[in-house]
Amino acid sequence: PPEMERGPVAAILLCALCVPAALPSGSEPVPLGLKAWIVVNSTPCSVTCGLGVKEERLCEVSPAGERRNCSRLRSRCLSDWICGLRHLSVPEGKPFRLSCLSPDAASLEGQDFGYTWRFARGLITANDLLFHPLRNPSPSLSFSPALESHSGTYRCDVQVLSSFQLVKRIYFGLRVIPRDLVDLDFQKSLTWEQRLAASGEEPGNATGAGEREQKHREFWEKQWFYEAVLGIGSGVILGILLSLGLCCLGRIWGK
């Protein structure tokens, strides 16, 4: 019957009118007591791999969008956890230390970290199959002093103890150079111009022993040039005189 068909339609229209009334109005104001803390800017991570530190500016933002009570916080940041292989050289007999985690990242409070060291003796490699465990639970490894037997590759892994998440892996390729093999005195191997450049001076502004050495060198270069010119000139004049003498003798004998 027509009355039964109009019943469901009327019920649907009534529900459609009731739904908007049940929804909150979009023009309802935000409560005045509502506050939010938002990071407004942040510095880049202090390292390009592994665990580092960044500085963030945290501000309280009001419903009107005003910033107040801002403060700066330092927090840890994580980029790529694989740091690759670093090549290092140290003279035999001198103390040396390898550090697995930057001091800034290690000093911040929060998560505790575990450190695992491995060693490949006498090899510079990143092949994990060639490493053997090395007992050292600290973030650094010290050599006092460094010996030739310490040469090789050291691998350090940093993990978060609570989750066992690996946050850094770095390889140190260490070469310990024997004392009698090479002289590592850098200053002795430099030329006079390189020493000036290393000290921040210009060759034209040189003073002291270096300037005297340069002037002495220039003096002898000039002396050599003058002697060469004098020798060539003397040879030319002697040749001309000899030619004239031979011509005169030829004419006399011809008569």
Task: Please report, for the domain that includes residue 166, its CATH number.
Answer: 2.60.40.10
The 8 Å CB, 24+ separation contacts for 130-135 are 131/155
Number of independent structural domains in the chain: 2
Residue whose pair of structure tokens reads 């490493």 in the numeric block: 131
Q: Are residues 86 and 173 in the same domain?
A: yes
pLDDT at 248: 82
SS percent in the chain: helix, strand, coil, step 5:
35, 35, 30
pLDDT number for residue 12: 52
Per-residue model confidence (pLDDT) at position 142:
93
C-alpha span between 43 and 26 (Å, rounded): 37
Domain boundary among 78, 112, 130: 78
**What letter represents residue 167's amino acid?**
V
pLDDT (0 to 100) of residue 33: 58
Does a structural domain hold residue 118? Answer: yes
Q: What mean pLDDT is predicted for residues 15-38?
A: 54
C-alpha–C-alpha distance, residues 64 and 46, integer Å: 34
Mark which of 21, 50, 78 sits at the end of a domain: 78
Supply the pTM of this predicted model: 0.53
pLDDT in tens, 159-211: 988 888 898 999 999 999 988 765 545 556 566 666 666 565 544 444 455 55
Of 47, 78, 109, the domain-final residue: 78
Give 214 or 136, the one with higher predicted confidence.
136
Instruction: Name the amino acid, one letter, at 55.
Output: E
8-state DSSP, 208: T
Q: Is 174 left (phi over 0), alpha (psi -120 to 50) or beta?
A: beta
d(CA 46, CA 78): 10
